[in-house]
Structure 1
Amino acid sequence: MKRFSFFAMALLMCTITFAQQALWGGAPVVSPEIHSDNTVTFRLKAPKAVRVQITGDFLPKQIIKTEHGESEAPGIVDLTEGKEGVWEFTTPEPLQPELYGYAFVVDGLRMMDPANVYMIRDVATVTNVFIIGGGRADLYKVNAVPHGTVSRMWYHSPTLNMDRRLTVYTPAGYETSGKRYPVFYLLHGAGGDEEAWIALGRTSQILDNLIAQGKAKPMIVVMTNGNAWQQAAPGEAPAGFTVPSMRPAERAAAPEGGFELSFPDIVKFVDKTFRTIPNKKNRAIAGLSMGSFHSCNISKYYPDMFDYVGLFSGASTGNDKSTCPVYTDFEGKLKVQFAKKPALYFIACGKTDFVYKGVSDFRSLLDKNGFKYEYLESDEGHIWKNWRIYLTEFAPKLFK
């Protein structure tokens, strides 16, 4: 019995030792290190590497030439090798408050920072992240305020004949208040899914902070999966660990306008499952890029469903060659929608966004018809930095 106890104790000590090595030995250097002046130092121990670089959205953009023309990409710079094979780079200037993403490139191979466990997936790209606090970026942080609840839920869509997944934020106190709440439907862009806004958009942090500050009304936020061919985010459906893609093969099998036509399935599920205020005045819809296209079409196809509409970095022009009723008679549907006087029609776009001209053309159409809307123009382009800004500006305008 004593011998058994000795071996059991030895085994326990080995387990603790290995656990401590995994916990404390996995990060031999500090990276990123945010200094008091908001410059940031990145480090990687790679004694056998020939060249180590870092790429991130805090670096000057680089222009990439493709078969479709030129596009912007995050910049890339070299690290300098120091003692014991530790490579290092410090930003030459302080970084402005923001959520930033980055990755290392070691001898041409992209890799994560082993000293930073915080990562986010955007379509098929994973990046490390960190936050420089201050100003608007404080809304992206978890602060000492009451917190809402984030749930992943499944619903059945009779229109698409499949079970589908969505993410729902309920505000602090929802579980015990007994109150009914307005609902904000927030849609992702191409390549995204029901995880995009909650991870990359920092939706729960933004809403927690805005509500706590009294700048936004307590609301339910529903983050859908806008890919009509897809049950759920990659890895979260019976299809298994599929490779995320902007244009998967399954897309061809999706019915035209399937997401827009099936949207009432989502609204019915939400109204049945949560304590909502189920009327137009207490519903909002907004989305980025493809989600903007969806929001534009859904709100005009169902003009009595949403009183608040937000188009972030995108719009729609209709398609009269289409046989799908969602896309035909584009201007006619807009006229019906605006005749019903939506409480807010909000458009936002970056100055260098590749969709800028399309958004300008859409605004010209609205101006020609005398349709009232609010417009916000920001710097930079088709990036999450802008979409987080638009969310922080749009949410406080809702349900007033």
Structure 2
Amino acid sequence: MCQSFNLRFCLLWTFLCLYGLVLAQPPRGPLVVSPQVNADKSVTFRYLAPQAKDVKLSAQFEKTPVPMAKDAQGIWSVTTSPIKPDIYPYSFQVDGVTVMDPANVAFFPNERFKASLVDVPGDTPLIHAMRDVPHGNITYEYYPSAEGTTGSLVVYTPPGYDQSPSKKYPVYYLISGTTDTEETFFKVGKTNLILDNLIAEGKAKAMIIVMPYGNVAARVAEQKGGSKPADPTGRDNPEAVKRANDFGADLTGNVIPYIEKNYRTVANRENRAIGGFSRGGGQTLRTAFGNMDKFAWVCAYSSYLSPEEMERSYKPIVANPASTNKQLKLLWVSVGSDDFLYKGTVEFMDYLKAKQVNYKSLITDGGHTWMNVKTYVAATTPLLFQ
């Protein structure tokens, strides 16, 4: 009798506890699907905000924010016109406050605001699309860095790396731009999928790609309890140049030794490439021109060095063009025609031409965007290590 009573009491107590937990849960709103890519390549965006007075869509494929309409459930929505297939950042402006899309797990890694991402696929899979091909691996690495701090890297190893324990590979060090993180070339640039597809097509050699964080000053401040220093104004003022050189010292003194100790690399300049976008492109050029014994392949995406800095700091590059042209197996410069760095980049190309330094270039439509970066990565990686 007592055992039966205790059992009933325990069951009742369990039921009451579970009921209390259910009552304690916050009320759930309606299910929101966003973004929804439609068959005609238009996209429907939705945002739940019953109390909001005004919600707009801000997206890189729109020139200005687009008003959204609210339904009876408090869900704001808008359907765009058909969009050119690609990956685009977007956000919502809710009563003047910019927010991510809470219904979307894909976001743009950044030191500041992290926009959401929408992937509009092509009818024919784009070069960055997930395809039925062998895939490489992505690994997050941590290494001893400047001033006793710990640095972070994202490393791509190509298909077959783990299955071929005796094979060694060339390495491409790939640096993202201002406010980007070590994840941006992976999560936004889809560099791993681009390489998977190019390698499967026989267009690119199998290579390791190392993606470091470019803001050494911010990392040092964060790990030593300080505040992130403001980004320097101007691309070639003394503070910007110092930070770029500090990054170059970290790359050559810490990152490369760590990678060559822990990965199977061909450890010579002919099998080392360096490239970057925006600030990362400036870091690329400064690091490469200051360490010609370490890199034979150099790719600058939407970036340049001024003729004044070249004359001041890298005179040997242009003073003996025959030697430079022999050392560099590839010097690549690319930019979009609407990029705010277009003028300086073209001036840099004209300067190299006047000094008889060989380079390859690509000028695309569009601006300072990661849509263009994917194009540049797909164009340059087939040229590396050939």
Q: Report deviation, 1:297.
A: 1.7
1:172 to 159, 165, 179: 159
- 2:263 is aligned to 274
8 Å contact from structure 1 (residues 147, 208) kept in 2: yes
Name the CA distance, whole Å, in 1 between partners of 2:260 and 2:128: 28
- Structure whose CA Rg is larger: 2
Name the CA distance, whole Å, in 1 between partners of 2:307 and 2:44: 48
Residue identity opposite 2:55 in structure 1: V
8 Å contact from structure 2 (residues 109, 183) kept in 1: no
Tell me whether 1:30 sits opposite 2:18 in the alignment: no
Q: Report deviation, 1:148.
A: 1.9
- 1:59 is aligned to 62
Structure-to-structure mapping, 1:322-341, within 5 angstroms: 327-329=313-315, 331-332=317-318, 335=321, 338-341=324-327
- 1:4 is aligned to 10
- 2:100 is aligned to 112
Residue identity opposite 1:344 in structure 2: L
Structure-to-structure mapping, 1:233-382, within 5 angstroms: 238=223, 246-247=231-232, 257-265=245-253, 266-317=255-306, 327-329=313-315, 331-332=317-318, 335=321, 338-382=324-368
Q: Secondary structure at the match of 2:259?
A: helix
Q: Secondary structure at the match of 1:124?
A: coil
Q: Kindly tell me: are residues 255 and 214 of structure 1, through their superposed partners in 2, closer, same or farther at Cα, counting changes over 3 Å?
A: closer
Name the CA distance, whole Å, in 2 between partners of 1:319 and 1:135: 47
Structure-to-structure mapping, 1:103-252, within 5 angstroms: 103-134=91-122, 138-157=126-145, 160-178=147-165, 179-231=167-219, 238=223, 246-247=231-232
- 1:63 is aligned to none
8 Å contact from structure 2 (residues 30, 73) kept in 1: no
8 Å contact from structure 1 (residues 123, 246) kept in 2: no
Name the CA distance, whole Å, in 1 between partners of 2:89 and 2:321: 42
2:84 to 96, 120, 125: 96
Please list every run of 5 or more consecutive structure 1 residues that lacks an aligned counterpart in the other structure.
61-74
TM-score, structure 1 normalization: 0.81
8 Å contact from structure 2 (residues 34, 44) kept in 1: yes
Let me know the Cα RMSD of the aligned residues. 3.3
8 Å contact from structure 2 (residues 244, 286) kept in 1: no
Q: Report deviation, 1:32.
A: 1.8
- 2:374 is aligned to 388
Name the CA distance, whole Å, in 2 between partners of 1:82 and 1:26: 13
Name the CA distance, whole Å, in 1 between partners of 2:246 and 2:323: 21
TM-score, structure 2 normalization: 0.84
1:88-128, CA deviations, whole angstroms, 9 ceiling, x for partnerless residues? 2111x211110022111122222222322322233311212
8 Å contact from structure 1 (residues 187, 226) kept in 2: yes
Name the CA distance, whole Å, in 1 between partners of 2:226 and 2:40: 42
Q: How many residues align?
A: 373
8 Å contact from structure 1 (residues 352, 379) kept in 2: yes
Residue identity opposite 2:87 in structure 1: L
- 2:52 is aligned to 49
Name the CA distance, whole Å, in 2 between partners of 1:240 and 1:167: 24
Name the CA distance, whole Å, in 1 between partners of 2:12 and 2:132: 46
Report the identity percentage.
Answer: 32
Residue identity opposite 1:109 in structure 2: V
Q: Secondary structure at the match of 2:189?
A: coil
- Shifted more, 222-231 versus 328-337: the winner is 328-337
Q: Report deviation, 1:146.
A: 2.5
8 Å contact from structure 1 (residues 27, 115) kept in 2: no
8 Å contact from structure 1 (residues 307, 344) kept in 2: yes
Q: Kindly tell me: are residues 146 and 183 of structure 1, through their superposed partners in 2, closer, same or farther at Cα, counting changes over 3 Å?
A: same
Name the CA distance, whole Å, in 1 between partners of 2:174 and 2:124: 20
- 2:43 is aligned to 40
Q: Kindly tell me: are residues 11 and 397 of structure 1, through their superposed partners in 2, closer, same or farther at Cα, counting changes over 3 Å?
A: farther
8 Å contact from structure 2 (residues 110, 181) kept in 1: no
1:83 to 72, 89, 92: 72
Please list every run of 5 or more consecutive structure 2 residues that lacks an aligned counterpart in the other structure.
1-5, 234-238
8 Å contact from structure 1 (residues 54, 105) kept in 2: yes
1:344-393, CA deviations, whole angstroms, 9 ceiling, x for partnerless residues? 21111000112111111111121112222111111111111111111111
Q: Report deviation, 1:145.
A: 2.8
8 Å contact from structure 1 (residues 98, 137) kept in 2: no
8 Å contact from structure 1 (residues 191, 244) kept in 2: no
